[in-house]
């Protein structure tokens, strides 16, 4: 039963990772599996069997979420921006009780202290301010197969995956900042189309672009997991304060990065009500799934 529950959690993490402004790390925190996920990645070779049994359903689910939602994301954010964003805000905020609970276990009688407060403020500012760095228009939509582009994709994979693991920092938003988000999304869609048509030439081109990006993603996840494990062990309270700042500021990042702020004045009453309902449903789903 846990296996299928973790597949569902993986799907939610995978979907979160391809939505600009939404962090897969935040979703893992909200679902109550973040520390276990990081521990399994960083301790993969030390406790291989235990780690791999936990990671396999998460990886399967994340793959389903990314592939299944790649086609839907552009349409939903373009045609139903508000309700889509509100659903994910609910999914994120629904995890706050679990974060507070884990944080209380780390906090001593002296409270979070000055450094804990400082960690919260800095993390909040980074997550909330990062969308402002995004270009207003993402011009690159197609990537040519060249050695230079393959190296760039490898580096982008490391950077994007490292930020995917950090709660509140969106890997897809980082790709937008660098101007490669839509190009990579289109590359994935084109590869899947060629796979269905069994177009070998098109599949080869897609593999040459996606393989270096994927290798970079795996490497980046391992590197950042080691760092976060160290931070939890040595600076647990401050790390949780930083995570809390990143998570709480995530809705701000979502609203800015999806261009929703400029659309708020034109929303109908029904859209607002439906968005609120979806936000509540998202919070309930996070609490429900996170307890499983």
Residue 91 has pLDDT above 80, yes or no: no
Strand partners, 108: 111
Q: Quick: pLDDT tens for 229-287.
A: 888 788 888 888 888 887 788 788 778 767 777 778 888 899 899 999 999 988 887 66
Q: Residue 31: helix, strand or coil by DSSP?
A: coil
Three-state DSSP at 141 gives coil
Average pLDDT of 123-148? 69
pLDDT tens digits along 197-211 = 888 888 998 899 999
The percent of residues above 70 in pLDDT, for the chain, comes to 86
Counting beta carbons within 10 angstroms of the beta carbon of residue 148, is it exposed (0 to 12), middle (13 to 18) or buried (19 or more)? Answer: exposed
Instruction: Quote the pLDDT of residue 107.
Output: 74
CA nearest to 278, candidates 83, 97, 30: 83
Residue 56 has pLDDT above 90, yes or no: yes
pLDDT value for 71: 75
Mean pLDDT, to the nearest integer, of 85-105? 78
What local confidence, expressed as pLDDT, does residue 272 receive? 92
SS3 146: coil
- Report the percentage of the chain scoring pLDDT > 90: 10
Mean of the per-residue pLDDT values of the chain: 81
The pLDDT score that the predictor gives to residue 31 is: 80
Decide if 102 contacts 35 (C-beta within 8 A): yes
Residue-level pLDDT at 136: 47
With a CB cutoff of 8 Å and minimum separation 6, the contacts of 43 are 51, 229
Tell me which H or E stretch contains 190.
helix 181-197
Other Cβ atoms closer than 10 A to 179: 14
């Amino acid at each position: 039963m846990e296996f299928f529950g973790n597949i569902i959690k993986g799907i939610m993490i995978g979907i979160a990772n391809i939505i600009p402004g939404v962090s897969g790390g935040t979703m893992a925190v909200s679902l109550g599996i973040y520390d276990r996920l990081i521990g399994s990645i960083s301790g993969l070779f030390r406790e291989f069997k235990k780690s791999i049994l936990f990671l396999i359903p998460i990886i399967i689910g994340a793959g389903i979420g990314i592939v299944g939602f790649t086609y839907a994301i552009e349409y939903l954010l373009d045609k139903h921006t508000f309700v889509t964003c509100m659903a994910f805000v609910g999914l994120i905020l629904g995890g706050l009780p679990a974060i507070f609970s884990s944080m209380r276990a780390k906090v001593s009688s002296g409270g979070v202290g000055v450094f804990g407060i400082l960690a919260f403020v800095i993390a909040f500012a980074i997550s909330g301010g990062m969308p402002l760095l995004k270009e207003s228009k993402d011009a690159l939509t197609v990537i040519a197969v060249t050695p230079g582009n393959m190296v760039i994709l490898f580096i982008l994979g490391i950077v994007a995956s490292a930020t995917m693991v950090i709660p509140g920092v969106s890997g897809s938003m980082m790709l937008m900042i660098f101007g490669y988000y839509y190009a990579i999304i289109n590359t994935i869609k084109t590869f899947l189309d060629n796979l269905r048509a069994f177009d070998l030439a098109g599949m080869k081109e897609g593999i040459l672009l996606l393989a270096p990006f994927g290798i970079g993603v795996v490497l980046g996840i391992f590197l950042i997991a080691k760092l976060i494990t160290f931070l939890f062990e040595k600076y647990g309270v401050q790390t949780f304060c930083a995570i809390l700042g990143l998570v709480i500021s995530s809705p701000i990042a979502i609203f800015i990065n999806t261009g929703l702020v400029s659309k708020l004045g034109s929303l109908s009453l029904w859209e607002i009500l439906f968005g609120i309902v979806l936000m509540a449903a998202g919070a309930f789903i996070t609490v429900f799934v996170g307890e499983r």
